[in-house]
């Protein structure tokens, strides 16, 4: 077994033998150092680098995302409220409405995201729904349900990283 004789060790833990390699930078890493990503195992440094690149949003983006989400949520509340009908219809419409809001917010902020974009967008939806409730709709079960579902939907859309 000649191939086995050349032992390789983790770059962070020289005492740990491993054959696992980062698929980006090729360095050896033990299972404790490896991070599972959708594209395979990577070392922590590569993951951090990717994230810094990915999370390029600025504070101005956060403000924009918040504003778009708030206005979008208030509009969605208004429109879905106008449609009326059964509560189930409102629930069914809330999911795509959240998706539209998140897509719009992403597009308007140049598709940049910060680490907290999802949270900011979700907060925007809550704020927009509250404003709607305060000035137009009242805080009924429909408004609350819509707010809850849209919040989850918007946050989920941001988590998808598309
Ligand atoms: Zn790496
Ligand atoms: Zn290690």
For position 99, what pLDDT does the model report? Answer: 94
Q: What angle is formed at CA 146 by the lines to CA 142 and CA 149, rounded to 5 degrees? A: 140
Provide CB contacts within 8 A for 79, sequence distance 6+. none
Band the pLDDT of 5: cuts 50, 70, 90: low
pLDDT digits (tens, 9 = 90+) for 82-115: 887 788 888 899 999 999 999 999 898 888 888 8
Alpha helices in the chain (DSSP H): 2-5, 44-54, 59-83, 87-108, 117-132, 141-159
Measured CA distances, 147 to 52, 74, 109 (Å): 31, 9, 22
Which of residues 14, 32, 53 is at a domain's end? 53
Kindly identify the ligand whose nearest atom is closest to the C-alpha of 42: 1
34 shares a domain with 17: yes
Q: Which residue has the higher pLDDT, 147 or 60?
A: 147
Task: List the domain range (segments joined by +) for residue 113.
Answer: 55-159
Distance, CA of 83 to CA of 161 (rounded, Å): 32
72 shares a domain with 8: no
Count of domains observed in the chain: 2
Q: Is 29 helix (H, G, I), strand (E, B) or coil?
A: coil
CA 23 to centroid of ligand 1, rounded, Å = 7
CA 162 to centroid of ligand 1, rounded, Å = 23
78 shares a domain with 6: no
86 shares a domain with 33: no
9 shares a domain with 19: yes
Provide CB contacts within 8 A for 99, sequence distance 6+. 153, 154, 157
151 shares a domain with 90: yes
143 shares a domain with 98: yes
Pairing type for strands 34-37 and 40-43 reads antiparallel
For position 121, what pLDDT does the model report? Answer: 95
59 shares a domain with 48: no
For position 162, what pLDDT does the model report? Answer: 47
Mean pLDDT of the 124-141 span: 89
pLDDT digits (tens, 9 = 90+) for 37-71: 888 999 999 988 877 777 777 888 899 999 999 99
CA 158 to centroid of ligand 2, rounded, Å = 31
CA 136 to centroid of ligand 1, rounded, Å = 53
DSSP state at residue 90: H
148 shares a domain with 77: yes
For position 84, what pLDDT does the model report? Answer: 75
């Amino acid at each position: 077994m000649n191939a086995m004789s050349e032992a390789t060790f983790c770059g962070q833990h020289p005492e740990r033998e491993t054959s696992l390699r980062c698929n980006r930078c090729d360095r050896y890493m033990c299972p404790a150092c490896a991070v599972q990503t959708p594209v395979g195992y990577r070392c922590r440094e590569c993951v951090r680098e990717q994230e810094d690149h990915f999370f390029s949003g600025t504070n101005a983006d956060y403000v924009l995302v918040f504003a778009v989400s708030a206005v979008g949520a208030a509009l969605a509340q208004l429109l879905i409220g106008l449609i009326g009908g059964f509560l189930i219809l409102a629930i069914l419409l809330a999911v795509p409405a959240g998706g539209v809001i998140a897509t719009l917010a992403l597009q308007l902020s140049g598709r940049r995201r910060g680490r907290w974009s999802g949270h900011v967008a979700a907060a925007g939806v809550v704020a927009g729904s509250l404003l709607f409730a305060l000035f137009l709709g009242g805080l009924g079960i429909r408004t609350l349900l819509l707010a809850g579902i849209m919040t989850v939907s918007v946050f989920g859309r941001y988590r998808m990283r598309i």
